[in-house]
């Protein structure tokens, strides 16, 4: 099964300080046909204007991944943690039994461009926490590299983000090339094209498009120029 989710079919919000596209139902955008895909619940593409951001708010029992595409974003939370992340970094926050945090673009001129991703956890009530990870750029350049996993030993071995769910997230900054990844046909796959154009399992995608996959044994990405992709390997 292959299903394209076109960029302009996503929910859209413009708040002045924040422009956002929602791949799944979120906030005032509601579409019963797009409530998530497996445990993947949110992919919001956000542009946050300089010296603005999300004030302190709470989360519970959600794995939240921030993937930066441009600019920077500063994080503060109720555990006492805080940092500023930029492209080339991934932040993982496990909300667990409850956490409050803020996300601010403190830069005076640059817009923060990011993907905020929520994945429902397999276990609830864990101790909240967060961690930033510097990506090994060589592992995602001209290939798909693992950046998030639900396998704790694998996360520690590869120094990638760990989440409380049987899921993996890959990232790739691709040139003019073809990349393949074997898949377990009993699982689901979700590819989000963050930038560029690509032919994915024979389907033509452009920036912001996604491809929902089920019962597929291989992921095949064909790029003629440049593209940046995220791929999620998910339980069915």
**Among 61-75, 79-93, 156-170, where is mean pLDDT lowest?**
79-93
Token pair for residue 148? Answer: 């998030």
> Rg of the chain's alpha carbons, rounded to an integer?
17
Over residues 184-231, the pLDDT tens digits come to 999 999 999 999 999 999 999 999 999 999 999 999 999 999 999 999
CA distances from 165 to 5, 61, 174 (A): 24, 11, 27
Sign of CA dihedral 15, 30, 209, 211: positive
* Cα 144 from Cα 231, distance rounded (Å): 8
Q: Is residue 76 predicted with pLDDT exceeding 90?
A: no
Q: Is residue 33 predicted with pLDDT exceeding 90?
A: yes
Structural domains of the chain in order of their starting residue, each with its CATH number: 2-234 (2.60.120.10)
- Which one, of 45, 50, 42, 133, lies nearest residue 87 by Cα? 133
């Amino acid at each position: 099964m292959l299903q394209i989710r076109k960029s302009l079919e996503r929910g859209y919000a413009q708040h002045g300080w924040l422009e956002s596209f929602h791949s799944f139902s979120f906030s005032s955008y509601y579409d019963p046909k797009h409530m998530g895909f497996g445990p993947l619940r949110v992919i919001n593409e956000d542009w946050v204007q300089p010296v603005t951001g999300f004030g302190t708010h709470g989360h519970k029992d959600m794995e939240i991944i921030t993937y930066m595409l441009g600019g920077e974003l500063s994080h503060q939370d109720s555990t006492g943690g805080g940092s500023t992340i930029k492209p080339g970094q991934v932040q993982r926050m496990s909300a667990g039994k409850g956490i409050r945090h803020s996300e601010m673009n403190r830069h005076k001129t640059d817009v923060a461009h990011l993907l905020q991703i929520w994945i429902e956890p397999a276990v609830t009530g864990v101790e909240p926490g967060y961690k930033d990870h510097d990506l090994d750029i060589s592992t995602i350049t001209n290939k798909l590299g693992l950046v998030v996993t639900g396998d704790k030993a694998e996360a520690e071995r590869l120094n990638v983000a760990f989440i409380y769910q049987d899921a993996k997230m890959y990232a790739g900054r691709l040139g003019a090339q073809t990349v393949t990844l074997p898949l377990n046909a009993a699982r689901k796959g979700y590819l989000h094209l963050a930038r560029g154009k690509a032919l994915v399992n024979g389907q033509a995608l452009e920036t912001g498009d996604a491809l929902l996959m089920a019962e597929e044994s291989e992921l095949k990405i064909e790029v003629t120029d440049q593209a940046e992709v995220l791929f999620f390997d998910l339980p069915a």
